[in-house]
Every structure is written in structure tokens, then in C-alpha cells.
Amino acid sequence: MFSNSSKYAIKAVLYLAIHSSESKKIRVKNISEPINVPQAYIAKLLQELSRHRIVSSTRGPNGGFFLSDANMKTLLIEIVNVIDGEDRLNSCLLSLHNCNSEKPCPLHDFARPFRTNFIESLEQNTIEDLARDVKRGKSFLPL
């Protein structure tokens, strides 16, 4: 479904959503441990996310990563698209490329309802929404 990298990215951004703010930056060392991802790996992913303005960062002493108010509105699909590319979630289950709902492949109907639904969830929900669920005890960490 997601690549490993996307899972890591989501975990990292969610961690920042819950624990960081403009006035409380977190450095990569202190992100990697609680989300259980190798430091050098998550550093690279955060840099990529930063380039796409999905997370914010400042360098130097007391620098680190954080989510701005705007960052909190990031849709989950944006994170996945940046890391995995736009095709991964949409491609045919059997990788047939000229298939669609008019000419569905033999597995199309097994998965379509779910997939549509799932992708819509990713398109409609923000990081802020996920963080809120956690705060309300609707979903759980640790990551």
C-alpha cells in the first residue's frame, strides 16, 4: 500500500504535529528515536518533505523541524505523493494499464470500493485531523 518511506514520513510528520510548534523545534535526533526510525533515514525524508514545504525547519543552534500552522493543514495524500509518487495508489491491481471502470480487469471490483474510499480519506484528512484523533483518544501511539 505505502512504501516503507511513506510510512516513516507519515509517522514523523504526525510526531511533529503533536509535539512541535514554531517555538518548539525538534531536531532529527529527537524525532528518530520516538518514532523508531533510523536517524539518517528519517533525516533524509524530512529534508525531502522540507523541500516540498510539508514540514518547516531552521538550521543552526536551537534549530530543528516543526510544523507551522499552514503545515498542519497538509493533506495526507500530499505526503504520500511526495514520497511514493502519484501512481502507486492508483495503478491497476494487476498492473494492466489500459483498464478502467468500463473495462475492469478481473480483480477490479474486488478492490475498487475500498481503494476509492481509502484514497478519498487521504485526500480529505489533514495531519491536524490525525493529531486530533490521537488527542481525543480515538487512535493511539506510540509510533
Partner DNA sequence: ATTAAAATATGATAAAAGTCATATTTAGGA
Partner DNA sequence: TCCTAAATATGACTTTTATCATATTTTAAT
Footprint of ligand FES (CB under 6 A): 92-94, 96, 99, 104-105, 107-108, 111
Burial tier of 12 (Cβ tally within 10 Å: 0-12, 13-18, 19+): buried
Q: Give the sign of the dihedral formed by CA 1, CA 38, CA 40, CA 132.
A: positive
101 binding its own copies? (CB under 8 A): no
Strand partners, 58: 64
Q: Which does 134 bind (CB under 5 to 8 A by kind): ligand FES, its own copies, DNA, none?
A: its own copies
Complex with ligand FES: residue 9 or 43, whichever CB lies closer: 9
Q: Which does 29 bind (CB under 5 to 8 A by kind): its own copies, DNA, ligand FES, none?
A: DNA
DSSP state for residue 91 in the 8-state scheme: S
